[in-house]
Amino acid sequence: MLTNRRRWVVATFVMIITAIAYIDRVNLSVAAPVLTKEFHTNAAVMGLLLSSFTWTYTLLNVPAGMIVDRVKTRVVYSAALLIWSVCSFLTALVNSIGALFGPRLLLGIGEAPFAPAAIRTLSDWLPKSERGMGGSMFISGVALGSAIGPPALAWLVSEHGWRSCFIASGVLSLLVAVIWYLWYRHPMEDSKLSDTERELILADQEPYQQEGRAPWGVIVRQRDIWAITSGYFCLLYILYTFITWVPSYLVQDRHMTILKSGFATSIPWICAFLVGILAGRASDIALRRGVSTLNARKIVLVSGMVAALAILGTAFASSATVAIICLSISTSGIIFANGAVWAATQDVVRSLNLSGSATGFVNALGNIGGILGPIVTGALAYATDSFVVPLVVAAGLALVGALAWLFGMRARPVVEVPESTMERT
């Protein structure tokens, strides 16, 4: 019954917000070929611009995660969406390549709380046995936004100019900010959540070890967190390379028009969206069948990164069709693994009441890869006048990430915090 599925309505809303976050990120990528010509710049400079969002985003992920653990996600999510909206509107007003950096840096500030808020929301609403599915729904929003964003935005750019796509994404963010604030409540405050479902959620969640929060530094002492973060660095290098450069790759190396590249870009993300939903169910099923917690997540993490090696096929394919098929496999692998990152993170730190802070930590260090991906890809594409070398580098990072997860994560999390070190509120 729908009355006993409210937690999945919340998870779906989180997925929608994630999709909007990535539409706000990918709008510049879609407009990049037009902006490169209009503002007389090159791939190396565009690589810096495409990466600039991640500079402030990465820098502020840790403090944003700490804020999420202290401020209601109802408020944090709504404020973040408002900032995304403002950034899109400001971008539509600029008249030089240099002026584009301002709104992108501000967007990084506004999006810093979004992943911690998403994971905190899912941690509050889902029992342990459903975290894999919840994490995959969250991360499938990445694929959903990246699938519907490029063709819709490419049509706007082609028909109404590049500024129109930023106006559209701004209106969308503003609308959802209002809806979330009016609709969302914590499960302990949600009058529409049935007692049966509330009990189901609470019965399969780890009890907090203390009334307050453990010292934040306890996160840094977790080996599993470092292993998760190392692999996530590699994953985000590849993910941001795909998000920022695939439209330009299809225009430059595969000789597509802006409009055609927008639709072609959506194909791998549609595949990834469908695969991403399956990923969470795979790790949850393994968990229910007796596989240790982190091993259940590790199966998904490692297999996803192995699939991402298909990017080598994209680099050396003789036709655009084969290149897109290989890109679809690789993108699906990235999304397949991505959801398990957040399920594993919750498994390690849920009992410490630090889901938001740990997410901020993993996301901050992992996003260093997100910073490097667009910059290195742009520099290599500019130096070689091709995307072959950058794609080979991305494949190398997929292998490194798979090995980091395979050998770095233990069979199950062990989290012990001496009572004397607890911080009481």
Residue 206 lies in a domain: no
Residue 305 has a pLDDT of 95
- What is the DSSP track for 146-205? HHHHHHHHHHHHHHH-HHHHHHHHHHHHHHHHHHHHHH---TTT-TTS-HHHHHHHHHTS
Tokens, residue 126: 């889902």
Residue 425 has a pLDDT of 33
Per-residue pLDDT tens over the stretch 56-99: 988 888 888 888 878 888 999 999 999 999 999 999 999 999 99
Residue 395 lies in a domain: yes
159 burial level (CB within 10 Å; 0-12, 13-18, 19+): exposed
Per-residue pLDDT tens over the stretch 2-19: 457 899 999 999 999 999
Residue 394 lies in a domain: yes
Residue 139 lies in a domain: yes
Instruction: From 354, 118, 80, 61, select the one nearest 236 (Cα to Cα).
Output: 61
Residue 121 lies in a domain: yes
Q: How many Å apart are CA 255 and CA 263, to the nearest integer?
A: 14
Rg of the chain taking only CA atoms, in angstroms: 21
Residue 202 lies in a domain: no
Residue 34 lies in a domain: yes
Residue 87 has a pLDDT of 95
Q: Residue 142: which CATH number?
A: 1.20.1250.20
Residue 278 has a pLDDT of 74
Residue 18 has a pLDDT of 93
Total number of domains in the chain: 1
Residue 257 has a pLDDT of 81
Residue 225 lies in a domain: yes
- What is the DSSP track for 27-80? HHHHHHHHHHHHTT--HHHHHHHHHHHHHHHHHHHHHHHHHHTTS-HHHHHHHH
CA 346 to chain centre: 16
Q: Which domain holds residue 228?
A: 2-185+219-411
Residue 345 has a pLDDT of 85
226, amino acid identity: W
Residue 414 has a pLDDT of 41
- Angle formed at CA 369 by CA 78 and CA 254, multiple of 5 degrees: 95
Residues of the chain with pLDDT under 70: 1-3, 204-216, 279-280, 350-351, 353, 411-425
